[in-house]
């Protein structure tokens, strides 16, 4: 050991030590002098703070922290690229801490890239608007296109494009929006990384093949969830495989509490032509539990799912339009539906255990498919030729629910404790055969990739074993339970309001309050629920102090064990009384082209009206009586009084909105759009507000609110 240490020290002495500066280009192996470097990035993602260019380069950043913004700043202020690997072969980057950028590391056209033991946490993420009892369409994601690097708008811990071969091992990517995002990459080994508590995607692949993803902890990559209110997931995921990503091995990973655990989609090429898919991927021995939407979603493709576990999700496996897929030896526990496949062909569901799912297996086809899809014009989309063999189904309301399906075999299944063992409707040539199936289930384990030595297990972490109530999403994404937090037990609008103290074990006490008349207690232990009675329902605040274990704040700031950590809960909602009137319009008064006629339409009798304390609507089908599904408008007026301070008026709208304060137009977003955020400053004092909104068709959203302080019009970048 002494000889080895001496030789390593000698080798390190031969590598030059450098300090970092903005614009530095590294062309040979270096060791960076350890310290914190605050280097601001250009907002253009075509530029980088540091560039690595060349072959056979090792950049040792052990002990180095590279910061783009103050750690206490809002994370949506982060910008630019910290490190760019521009081409080259045999490039290694190790030991870095990089935070406060839109993208911590980007690599392009590199052969044999190694990223080891880096921490790319606390980089860019957007403000979210789906909070407690209100979901916003503005937070929904779309990763469907990336041929022109559209994913860059979401930022990343590491964004790799056209990287061939190499290893990503022992890295950390937490509390951003996206983790490790790969496009046109192959033959990478992604092993033993922690990619968790991001508000979008943990690991993402696009046109990326033959990669090995093993022994990672990719949990709580989620948005669009509020326990007891909504469980959308909003197309966030622990693992995303998109657009012809094939031949990948995904094994022994913990991928729990993601919007989806796995979200696999064949891609637009397949949708347009019926050809290809995200095919021949192997998913073995992973934990995809506690997803708000689907533990596994895998559509329009052919894949193998073996020995995985999915518990407590809406769907255990959603396999729409899958073909020749194998679902073997998995465990589906406590999901609403264990396995659901619509319009599938020649899929095999064998040797699985289904425990307490509402429905264990559902197969079906719809008689009418979307008219704008090309896929059904090129492929057989009947539900046909399935094999359901030797599954163990326990405690389901319905064991097998099969409709509009033909030429399939149900063989040797054990169904117990079900209200209905099988519900079959409009099926033909479906054979139900008692006895044992001939399939050799021992072959399942022969699919198993060899586990790596000194690697993490997919199962057993205390936080990943908790149910979905452990998912707490605030305006900056998923809570990581490493610091204390005060959070509503249910509604944020009740009075008295029940709040719960979340976080690591320890003690808490109240150290400050404003606008609060009574509390059920003023000190206690983490896990307590307290009841708060505001004296001012519009504006109140609690300041608490925690003592206990070492903490890490949501911004990544560490506080030692026993040191006081302050945390706050504040409620601000100025009193408004909105007079809301709903109108219809026609082609002759179209607000997009006929402004004068539209203005006259708003002088007619409204089709509906109401008074409401909040201007807050979101629907696909109107929830206000007599309002039509399409071509309607809203006019809302109110007054508001604001005390001394700085304030922002914020709207979220779909399709269009404009706002006047005291007769002055301050927001004018009058071209139809998907849900978008607009802001305008509003001064202290008493003001008259007027809001106009129109809806063409599709989803409707209109939210108007006044916030304390100055805020940007942020949110997740919209679909491309």
- Residues 349-380 have pLDDT tens digits of 999 999 999 999 999 998 888 878 889 889 98
Is 507 among the domain residues? yes
Give the chain's domain count. Answer: 3
Query: Residue 610's domain is classified under what CATH number?
Result: 2.60.120.260
pLDDT (tens digit per residue) in 611-661 = 999 999 999 999 999 999 999 999 999 999 999 999 999 999 999 999 999
Residue 456 belongs to some domain of the structure: no
Same-domain status, 589 and 563: no
Burial of 264 (0-12, 13-18, 19+ CB in 10 A): buried
pLDDT of 372 = 80
Residue 390 domain flag:
yes
Q: Please tell me whether residues 137 and 244 are part of one structural domain.
A: yes
| Domain-embedded: residue 432 | no
Ramachandran angles phi, psi of 520, nearest 5°: -70, -25
Name the domain boundary from 398, 433, 450. Answer: 398
Q: Which helix (H) or strand (E) holds 271?
A: helix 268-273
**Which of 309, 285, 307 has its CA nearest to residue 296?**
309
Question: Is residue 473 in some structural domain?
Answer: no
Cβ(119)–Cβ(170) below 8 Å: no
- Find where tokens 């052919």 sit: 302
Domain boundary, last residue among 572, 592, 620: 572
Residue 247: which CATH number?
2.160.20
Nearest CA-CA partner of 497 in 520, 481, 524:
520
Residues 447, 451, 452, 456: is their CA dihedral positive or negative? positive
Residues 648 and 600 occupy one common structural domain: yes
> Based on the domain organization, do 276 and 182 belong to the same domain?
yes
Say if residue 113 is in the same domain as residue 230. yes
| Percentage above 70 pLDDT, the chain | 97
Whole-number pLDDT of residue 11: 45
CB count within 10 Å of CB 492 equals: 16
What pLDDT does 10 receive? 39
Task: Give per-residue pLDDT as tens, 342-352.
Answer: 999 999 999 99
559: buried, middle or exposed (CB in 10 Å: 19+, 13-18, 0-12)? middle
Residues 549 and 645 in one domain: no
Q: What is the pLDDT of residue 434?
A: 76
Whether residue 49 is found in the same domain as residue 154: yes
The residue among 354, 375, 398 that closes a domain is 398
Same domain, 547 and 584: no
Report DSSP state, residue 588: G
- Assess whether 487 and 357 both reside in one domain: no
> Which residue range is the domain that position 497 belongs to?
481-572
Give me 58's structure tokens. 């090792």
On whether both 273 and 232 belong to a single domain, the answer is: yes
CA dist., res. 300 & res. 343, Å (int): 9
Asked if residue 119 belongs to a domain, the reply is: yes
Q: Please, what sign has the CA dihedral across residues 255, 260, 262, 268?
A: negative
Instruction: Tell whether 209 and 270 lie within a shared domain.
Output: yes
567 shares a domain with 677: no
Please give the sequence-ordered ranges of beta strands (E in DSSP) within 489-555, or none if there are none: 497-502, 506-514, 516-519, 523-525, 529-534, 539-548, 551-552
Is 637 a member of any domain?
yes
- Cα(464)–Cα(255) distance, integer angstroms: 9
- pTM for the structure as a whole: 0.95
Query: What does the pLDDT read at residue 435?
Result: 66
Is 192 exposed, middle or buried, given 0-12, 13-18 or 19+ CB atoms closer than 10 A?
buried
First vs last Cα of the chain: how many Å apart? 55
Q: Do the domain assignments include residue 467?
A: no
> Between the CA of residue 2 and those of 6, 8, 54, 664, what are the distances in Å?
6, 10, 33, 77
């Amino acid at each position: 050991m002494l000889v080895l240490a001496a030789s390593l020290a000698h080798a390190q002495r031969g590598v030059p030590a450098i300090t970092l500066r903005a614009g530095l280009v590294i062309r040979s192996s270096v060791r960076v002098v350890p310290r914190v470097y605050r280097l601001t990035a250009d907002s253009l993602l075509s530029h980088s703070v540091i560039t690595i260019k060349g072959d056979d380069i090792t950049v040792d950043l052990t002990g180095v922290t590279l910061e783009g913004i103050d750690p206490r700043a809002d994370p949506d202020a982060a910008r630019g690229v910290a490190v760019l690997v521009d081409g080259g072969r045999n490039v290694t980057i190790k030991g870095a801490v990089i935070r406060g950028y839109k993208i911590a590391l980007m690599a392009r056209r590199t052969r044999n890239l190694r990223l080891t033991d880096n921490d790319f946490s606390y980089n860019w993420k957007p403000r979210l608007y789906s909070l407690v009892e209100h979901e916003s369409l503005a937070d929904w994601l779309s990763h469907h296109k990336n041929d022109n690097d559209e994913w860059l708008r979401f930022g990343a811990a590491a964004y790799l494009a056209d990287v061939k071969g190499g290893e990503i091992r022992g890295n950390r990517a937490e509390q951003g929006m996206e983790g490790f995002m790969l496009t046109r990459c192959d033959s990478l080994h992604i092993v033993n990384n922690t990619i968790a508590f991001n508000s979008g995607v943990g690991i993402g692949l696009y046109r990326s093949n033959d990669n090995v993803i093993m022994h990672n902890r990719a949990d709580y990559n989620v948005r669009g969830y509020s326990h007891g209110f909504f469980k959308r997931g909003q197309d966030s995921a622990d693992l995303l495989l998109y657009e012809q990503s094939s031949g990948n091995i995904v094994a022994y990973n913990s991928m729990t509490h993601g919007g989806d655990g796995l979200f696999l989609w064949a891609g637009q090429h397949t949708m347009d032509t019926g050809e290809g898919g995200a095919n021949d991927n192997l998913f073995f021995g992973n934990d995809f539990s506690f997803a708000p939407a689907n533990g596994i979603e895998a559509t329009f493709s052919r894949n193998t799912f073996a020995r995985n576990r999915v518990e407590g999700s809406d769907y255990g496996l959603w396999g729409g339009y899958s073909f020749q897929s194998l679902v073997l030896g998995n465990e589906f526990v406590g999901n609403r539906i264990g396995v659901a496949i619509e319009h599938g062909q020649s899929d095999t569901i064998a040797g699985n255990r289904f425990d307490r799912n509402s429905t264990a297996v559902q197969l079906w086809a719809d008689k009418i498919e979307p008219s704008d899809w090309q896929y059904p014009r090129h492929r057989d989309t009947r539900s046909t030729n399935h094999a359901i063999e030797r599954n163990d189904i326990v405690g389901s309301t319905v064991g097998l629910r099969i409709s509009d399906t033909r030429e399939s075999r149900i063989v040797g299944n054990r169904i117990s404790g079900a209200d209905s063992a099988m519900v079959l409707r409009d099926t033909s040539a479906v054979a139900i055969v008692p006895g044992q199936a001939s399939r050799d289930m021992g072959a399942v384990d022969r699919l198993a990739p060899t586990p790596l030595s000194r690697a993490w297990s997919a199962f057993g972490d205390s936080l990943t074993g908790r149910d979905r109530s452990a998912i707490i999403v605030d305006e900056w994404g998923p809570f990581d339970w490493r610091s204390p937090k005060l959070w509503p037990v249910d509604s944020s609008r009740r009075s008295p309001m029940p709040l719960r103290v979340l976080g690591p074990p320890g003690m808490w006490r109240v150290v400050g309050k404003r606008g609060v008349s009574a509390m059920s207690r003023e000190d206690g232990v983490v896990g307590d629920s307290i009841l708060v009675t505001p004296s001012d329902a519009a504006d109140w605040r609690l300041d608490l102090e925690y003592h206990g274990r070492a903490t890490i704040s949501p911004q990544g700031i560490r506080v030692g064990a026993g040191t006081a950590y302050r945390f706050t809960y504040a409620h601000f909602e100025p009193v408004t009384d909105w007079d809301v009137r709903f109108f219809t319009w026609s082609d002759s008064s179209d607000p997009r082209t006929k402004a004068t006629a539209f203005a006259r339409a708003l002088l007619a009798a409204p089709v509906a009206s109401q008074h409401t304390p909040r201007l807050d609507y979101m629907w696909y089908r109107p929830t206000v009586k007599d309002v039509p599904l399409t071509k309607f408008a809203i006019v809302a007026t109110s007054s508001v009084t604001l005390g001394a301070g700085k304030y922002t008026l914020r709207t979220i709208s779909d399709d269009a909105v404009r706002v006047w304060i005291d007769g002055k137009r301050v927001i004018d977003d009058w071209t139809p759009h998907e849900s978008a955020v607009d802001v305008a400053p509003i001064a202290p004092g008493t003001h008259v507000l007027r809001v106009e909104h129109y809806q063409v068709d599709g989803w409707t959203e209109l939210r108007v609110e006044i916030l304390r302080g100055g805020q940007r019009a942020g949110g997740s970048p919209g679909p491309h």
